[in-house]
Amino acid sequence: MTQRTVDRRGFLKAGTAVLAGTLVVPLLADDGTSAASLGAPMGDYGQPSPFAPARREGIGAHPQGPGAGASSTPLQLLNGTVTPNSLHFERHHSGIPQIDPARHTLTLYGDVHQPLQFSYEDLLAYPLETHLYFLECSGNSYRNTLPDAQDATAGALNGLVSGAEWTGVPLHYLLAEAGIKPRAKWLIAEGADASANTRSVPLSIALDNVMVALYQNGEPLRPSQGFPMRLFVPGCEGNVSIKWLTAIKLQAEPAYTREETSKYTDLLEDGRAEMFSLRMAVKSLITTPSGRMTLPRQGVVEISGLAWSGHGSIAKVEVSADAGRSWVTAQLQSEPGPLRLTRFRLPWRWQGAPAILQSRALDDQGNLQPSRDAALARYSPMGFYHYNGIQSWQVNAAGEVKNVYV
C-alpha cells in the first residue's frame, strides 16, 4: 500500500513535467487543419481514426481448411477492459456462416418434459440480462509453451482473449420452461456451422450463469461471434461457448464428442487425462510495455495490463521489474467483478537499465498465477491448452521490449 502511494506520487510529479512539454505544441498545425475548419460529413457507420489503426493479428488458417483457424485481439493497442467487436479475436473450425435469423431456430430437446423450439424473435421477447465477461480460447498463449520464446506482440502471443458486455437470455429460463427430467445432468450444445464443434456442459454450470447471448457490446452479435445466437459459458474455455447455436439436448451423460475427446482433453504430466476441465485458470499479462514496443524515453512509464480468472474475481495483481525477485502490488483500475477482465496499472521509473517485467495475478479463490515452468509442469510436454504461466517481457538498454523465458 505504502509502496503504491510512493510510486503514484513519483508518477504524478514526473507526469506534470512531461505534460508541460506538450503544451507548447501549436494548436493549429502547419497545414492549416484544425478543429476549427470544416470536417468530414456524417457517416452511417463509424470508423477508427486513420492515425490509430488497429487490426486483428496472428491470423492463422489451417493449410487444408482455410475456414479453420484463429485471429487475435491486438491487446497492446487497446485499453480499458472492453474489446471492440471489430477486434474481438476469432476462432472458427469451419468458417463463418452467414445466417438469416428468420430462418434460424434453437431446439431444446432430450431429457425434458416438453421439447421446445425458439425463433430469434421468440428469444428477444424473454427478459434479457447483461454482464461483463471475459472469453478465452483454451489454446490462448500456446506460443509461450513452445521451446523458444517467440518475438511477437502481446496480442499475437496472448490475444485469444477478450472482454465484452454480453446480453442474452439466461438459459435457466428456457430449461425451466421445457422442464428438466431428473436424469438430465448434462447439456449438449450444437452449432449451425459445418464444424460439429459440439460440446457437453454439466447442468450445474448451465443452470448457474450460462446464457444464450444475442448482443455483444450493445449491438447484435457479429457473424464471426455467432450471429444470431451463441451459447455463452462464463469463465470456461471458449470452445464450449457454441456459436450459431441451433440445438441443446439434455441427457444423463456427456456426449464425448470428437472435440472433447480428441482435442479438448488435457493430458497431464503423470499420464492421466483431464476431461471437461472447463474453467480457465487465473492469468494476467502486461500489455504496455509489451513485445515489439520500444520505450520512447527514460523516466516514468505506466505499466498496464489485464488479469482474469475463470474461478472468480481478481483479488490482486503484482508487478516485478526484476524477473520475479521482488514484487509491487499494482492498482486494480477497473471495476472488479467475477469472470471479467480487470485492468491493472503501476507507474515505473525506467532509467535505462535492462529489466524483465512480469505480472502475476491472484484470484479471490486463492489461486495464484504460476511461473512458466510450474504452468508447463502440470501437463504432458505435448499439451498446450490452459497455459497460464507468467509472461516475461525483457526491456533492453535501448528500451526495446521482447518476449523472453526466465
Binding site for ligand MTE (CB under 6 A): 88-93, 135, 137, 191, 193, 195, 197, 224-225, 238-239, 241-244
Are 308 and 332 within 8 A, CB to CB? Answer: no
Q: Which of 57, 75, 90, 91 contacts Mo ion by CB under 5 A?
A: 91
| Nearest to 61, CA basis, from 50, 69, 52, 51 | 69
∠ at Cα 145 (195, 394), nearest 5°?
130
- Residue 350 binds what, of Mo ion, ligand MTE, none (CB under 5 to 8 Å, by partner type)? none
The grid cell for 149 is 520464446
Q: Which is nearer to ligand MTE, 141 or 358 (CB)?
A: 141
Q: Which is nearer to ligand MTE, 7 or 190 (CB)?
A: 190
129 forms beta bridges with 168
The number of angstroms, rounded, from the C-alpha of 368 to the middle of its chain's C-alpha atoms is 18
Q: Which of 137, 171, 212, 255 contacts Mo ion by CB under 5 A?
A: 137
Are 101 and 212 within 8 A, CB to CB? Answer: no
3-state secondary structure of 120: helix
Minimum CB distance to Mo ion, residue 63 (Å): 19
Only segment of 53-61, 174-182, 239-247, 351-359 that touches Mo ion (CB under 5 A) = 239-247
- Residue 241 binds what, of ligand MTE, Mo ion, none (CB under 5 to 8 Å, by partner type)? ligand MTE
- Count other C-beta atoms under 10 Å from residue 288's C-beta: 20
**Cα–Cα dist 211/236, whole Å:** 13
Minimum CB distance to ligand MTE, residue 188 (Å): 13
How many helices (H) and strands (E) the chain has is answered by 7, 24
**Position of minimal CB gap to Mo ion:** 137
**Cα–Cα dist 140/286, whole Å:** 15
Minimum CB distance to ligand MTE, residue 189 (Å): 8
Q: Which is nearer to ligand MTE, 72 or 358 (CB)?
A: 72
Q: Which is nearer to ligand MTE, 137 or 362 (CB)?
A: 137
* Interface residue list for Mo ion (CB under 5 A): 91, 137, 238-239
